[in-house]
Structure 1
Amino acid sequence: MLAEHWPLFGLRIQVGAVELRLPTDAELPVLASVAAEGVQKSGARTFLTPWTDLPPAERARWVIQSAWSGRGEWTPENWYLGLGVFADGVPIGVQSLRASSFALLREVATSSWLGLGHQGGGIGTAMRHAVLHLAFAGLSATDAVTASFVDNPAPIGVSRKLGYTDDGITRDLLHGDVVVSQRLRLTRERWAALDRPPVTMTGLAPCLPLFGLT
């Protein structure tokens, strides 16, 4: 019934055993607990928004609030889609897609997190394949961008493996320190030319007006 009024709840993207979909409110506590148990190794810096530095209970709360705000603040001109990452039906992380003025710019940005116990096994690559399929095959994006700290090579490696090319750097402040991020860009042409795993996507058509598309 909820998908009748908010069709994004009916969107499903599957790559192998990894499925992306919006978590329900009943599933959010499980997802929040994954974040509370740990998203990055001690001392690591992963996100410019330092939510992973929060105490476990506050990390869990941040995940829930982020899901709610993504729904509540959504407009066709400015949207954030925080898809839950499910492995064998269990939520283990979030893969996001966001854009501003997408109908005109056709550019999306991605970000993601996985529980520590689920990292390093190829799930990060599979979930990015899935969300890029949504962006390029489903929404006809022309570009996908992302960024990672230069001293955090794992996500940069995933991006380059998926065809992204360097797109300059940004310098920001995190806890009073200067941090440098490598920006990366994937064009539709490069995405289309690369070998990709099979992706199954259902439930997109009724969602298109929410993305500013017809």
Structure 2
Amino acid sequence: MLIDHIPVLGLRVRTSRLELRFPSGDELATLAELAAEGIHEPDMMPFGNPWSELPGPKLSRRVIQQHWKRQSEIKPDSWALNLVVFVDGDPVGVQEVEADDFAIQRQVTSESWLGLRYQGRGIGTEMRAAMLHLAFAGLGAEEAVSTGYLHNPASLTVSRKLGYAENGMGRGISRGKVALEQHFRLTREAWEQHRTVDATLEGVEPCLAFLGAEKE
């Protein structure tokens, strides 16, 4: 079976209302169509690469191809899990968690997006919290880092709400111009102190060696 070779396909993270997992082909198509409806307001760009401004059909195709690309490139010393977020069985966005040399660094970073029609319901915070549960409780991470543009207060608010500490400023690029970035760091201790979302995990054990996360 395919899952015997790509064990992350069996990974599940669940909260009281969300499920994070890899999608089926039809679910991925639905997700791509959701992205084409919009994932942020026209006057705000949350990404360094403005892929979200592609015209509808190209944007949908990009979401699908990026998902396949990320999945095909997973290896123990470098991986990115594009976990799709589901509410009542419907895909509503993507919560990515990624790491390089995880066996040594035990550090993860993350990116995410949420369909516009699902924003403003606290889903963004809950899906990041679910990802952190996977990272710390499931994979044995020691810290998580995040970066957000100062012009994207929603992302900064999520980080602060979940216990990330400010960890310096940086300079990025947004739509061809310099954009200031806020860096954040979340230690295991801070995560444990700020946990407010209960989550359960399924299918983690077969993924540990695949992701360089075997327990010492």
TM-score grouping bracket, smaller chain normalisation: over 0.9
- 1:171-208 Cα offsets, whole Å, 9 max, x none, are 12333211111111111010011242221111110011
Q: CA deviation at 1:151?
A: 1.1
Identity %: 46
Q: Separation in 2 of the partners of 1:167 and 1:213? A: 25
| Aligned ranges 1:58-97 → 2 under 5 Å | 58-97=58-97
Structure 2 length normalisation: TM-score?
A: 0.96
1:117 equivalent to 2:126? Answer no
The residue identity in structure 1 corresponding to 2:23 is P
Classify the secondary structure of the residue corresponding to 1:91: strand
1:209 equivalent to 2:177? Answer no
- 1:51-104 Cα offsets, whole Å, 9 max, x none, are 112112121111111110111111110101000000001011000000100100
Q: Separation in 1 of the partners of 2:14 and 2:132? A: 12
Q: Separation in 1 of the partners of 2:92 and 2:174? A: 26
Match of 2:36 in 1: 36
Classify the secondary structure of the residue corresponding to 1:27: helix
**Given that residues 130 and 199 in structure 2 are in contact (C-alpha distance below 8 angstroms), is that contact kept between their aligned partners in structure 1?**
yes
**Given that residues 15 and 129 in structure 1 are in contact (C-alpha distance below 8 angstroms), is that contact kept between their aligned partners in structure 2?**
no
Match of 1:135 in 2: 135
Q: How many residues align?
A: 214
Match of 2:2 in 1: 2
CA RMSD of aligned residues (A): 1.1
Structure 1: 4+ residue segments shifted above 3 A? none
Q: 1:27 to 1:104 in 2, by over 3 A?
A: same
The residue identity in structure 1 corresponding to 2:8 is L
Match of 1:27 in 2: 27
Match of 2:197 in 1: 197
Match of 2:150 in 1: 150
**Given that residues 48 and 175 in structure 2 are in contact (C-alpha distance below 8 angstroms), is that contact kept between their aligned partners in structure 1?**
no
Structure 1: segments with no counterpart, 5+ residues: none
User: Which has the larger displacement, 194-203 or 70-79?
Assistant: 194-203
Q: Separation in 2 of the partners of 1:168 and 1:212? A: 29
Q: Separation in 2 of the partners of 1:85 and 1:52? A: 18
Q: Separation in 2 of the partners of 1:196 and 1:146? A: 19
User: Which has the larger displacement, 16-25 or 173-182?
Assistant: 173-182
Q: Separation in 2 of the partners of 1:126 and 1:212? A: 26
